[in-house]
Structure 1
Amino acid sequence: MLLSLGLFVFQLRTMPYEELKRSTEYRWASNNRFGKAPAHQFLGEGEDDLTINGKLMPELTGGPVHLDKLREMAASGKAWILTAGNGDVLGKWFIQRIEDNRSHFISNGDARKIEFTISLTRYANDDNGQLGNLMDSKS
């Protein structure tokens, strides 16, 4: 297991990824002062985003069915527990965006290569009512 979102597991036979990029924002307020440099005050964490990039080769790895499952999870409007392959629980995240680019088509129109990008955002609300049902995330 590389990563799991709910019970959806990113692994070599489903959704192997090549790149995992995380961007965390920290918020600071700036107040102008007369005759001095601005004063700054820490307001707390801001957005926390995760971008997953990879390629699917349906003859060897996962395929469109796995992207469809992730799109179904995103459309539910729910957040999911994200767990790293080493067991670290990374918190609650929701799917912000899914993109795919298909190429190298065979005669029936199926793609032999599917490049994908999945954008996740950390769900910072304390309301667990927005958490997805684990069984709805099983791939």
Structure 2
Amino acid sequence: MTHDLSWRHARTERVGAIATSQFVGPGDDSIQLSGLIAPPLTGQYSSLATLREMADTGRPWALVTGDGLLLGAFAITTLKETQSLFFPDGTPRKVEFQLGLERVPDEAMAEAQP
């Protein structure tokens, strides 16, 4: 997992002096998750189909760590798959993937509920 955070600082140029800056709040919050599916050893092909379906909705999803810490509401922005080691019928034995997530306001979770 790669977690990228940023903070915004507005800058004002000044004649003959260094620009001033003011903290204006948090910036982008993005997460990249990498994974591997290698049926029948680990994972199922349908897991990637589920991720695609979740992304197709455009809805935010709660992201929770393995130990139960809620990281917030995140939207799926990218899914990259790399297939290799194919069976004779063309089915991949190994699928590596990277999932890109962007933080959205927590209120978006409530608004997205039917």
Measured against aligned partners, the alpha-carbon deviations of 1:40-96 in whole angstroms (never above 9, x if no partner) come to 011111110000012211121113210000000000110011111111111111100
CA–CA distance in 2 between the matches of 1:23 and 1:34?
34
Match of 1:64 among 28, 40, 45: 45
Secondary structure of 2:89's counterpart equals coil
CA–CA distance in 2 between the matches of 1:65 and 1:24?
31
Q: TM-score normalised to the size of structure 1?
A: 0.76
* 1:126 is aligned to 2:107: yes
CA–CA distance in 2 between the matches of 1:130 and 1:120?
17
Partner of 2:62: 81
Q: Superposed, which structure 2 residues align to 1:38-57 within 5 Å?
A: 38-57=19-38
CA–CA distance in 1 between the matches of 2:63 and 2:74?
6
Partner of 1:106: 87
Who wins on radius of gyration, i.e. which is larger? 2
Aligned residues: 113
Query: What is the identity percentage for the equivalent residue pairs of Structure 1 and Structure 2?
Result: 33
- Larger fraction in strand: 2
Secondary structure of 1:71's counterpart equals helix
- Contact 2:8–2:25 (Cα < 8 Å) also in 1: yes
Long gaps (5+) in structure 1: 1-19, 134-139
Q: TM-score normalised to the size of structure 2?
A: 0.92
Long gaps (5+) in structure 2: none
* CA shift for structure 1 position 125: 5.5
- Contact 2:72–2:106 (Cα < 8 Å) also in 1: no
CA–CA distance in 2 between the matches of 1:63 and 1:126?
32
* CA shift for structure 1 position 35: 2.0
CA–CA distance in 1 between the matches of 2:71 and 2:106?
14
CA RMSD, Structure 1 to Structure 2 (Å): 1.4
CA–CA distance in 2 between the matches of 1:126 and 1:35?
44
Q: Higher relative CO (CA 8 A, sep ≥ 6), structure 1 or 2?
A: 1
